[in-house]
Amino acid sequence: RKEVEQDPGPFNVPEGATVAFNCTYSNSASQSFFWYRQDCRKEPKLLMSVYSSGNEDGRFTAQLNRASQYISLLIRDSKLSDSATYLCVVNKAAGNKLTFGGGTRVLVKP
Amino acid sequence: NAGVMQNPRHLVRRRGQEARLRCSPMKGHSHVYWYRQLPEEGLKFMVYLQKENIIDESGMPKERFSAEFPKEGPSILRIQQVVRGDSAAYFCASSPGGRSEGSFFGQGTRLTVV
Q: What is the pLDDT of residues B3-56, one digit of tens each?
A: 999 999 999 999 999 999 999 999 888 889 999 999 878 899 999 999 889 999
Instruction: Tell me which chain A residues have a C-beta less than 8 angstroms from the C-beta of B91.
Output: 43-44
Q: CB neighbours of A70 closer than 8 A, spacing ≥ 6?
A: A22, A23, A24, A25
Instruction: Sort strands A98-100 and A4-6 into parallel, antiparallel or unpaired.
Output: unpaired
Is A1 touching B (CB cutoff 8 A)? Answer: no
The set of residues, in sequence order, having a beta carbon less than 8 Å from that of B50 and lying 6+ positions away, is B30, B31, B32, B69
Q: Where residue A30 falls among pLDDT bands split at 50, 70, 90?
A: confident
| pLDDT above 70: percentage of residues in chain B | 94
Rounded to the nearest angstrom, the minimum Cα separation between A75 and chain B is 21
Cα A7 to Cα A24: distance, rounded to the nearest angstrom: 10
Q: Is B45 on the interface with A (CB under 8 A)?
A: yes
Q: Which residues of chain B make contact with A87, given a CB cutoff of 8 A?
A: 42-43
Disruptive mutation site among A35, A41, A48, A98 for chain B (greatest number of B CBs within 10 Å):
A98
Instruction: Inform me whether the pLDDT recorded for B91 exceeds 70.
Output: yes
> In terms of C-beta density within 10 A (0-12 exposed, 13-18 middle, 19 or more buried), how is residue A104 classed?
buried
Choose the closest CB to B41 out of A34, A91, A102: A102
A19 close to A4: Cβ distance less than 8 angstroms: no
pLDDT reported for residue B107 = 96
B103–A contact, CB cutoff 8 A: yes
CA distance B35 to B19: 15
What's the pLDDT score for residue B104? 85
Q: What is the DSSP letter of B25?
A: P
DSSP-derived secondary structure for A55-67: EEETTEEEEEETT
The predicted structure's pLDDT at residue B98 = 64
Backbone phi, psi, residue A33, to 5°: -135, 140
Distance from CA of B45 to the nearest CA of A (A): 6
Residue A84 pLDDT = 97
Whole-number pLDDT of residue B30: 87
Which band of pLDDT confidence, cut at 50, 70 and 90, is reported for residue A58? Answer: very high
Tell me the pLDDT band of B68, cut-offs 50, 70 and 90. very high
User: Residue B2: is its pLDDT beyond 80?
Assistant: no
Most B-contacting residue of A46, A97, A99 (CB-CB within 10 A), to test interface: A97
pLDDT tops 70 at residue B82: yes
Does pLDDT of A93 surpass 70? no
Report the pLDDT value the prediction gives residue B108, as an integer from 0 to 100. 97
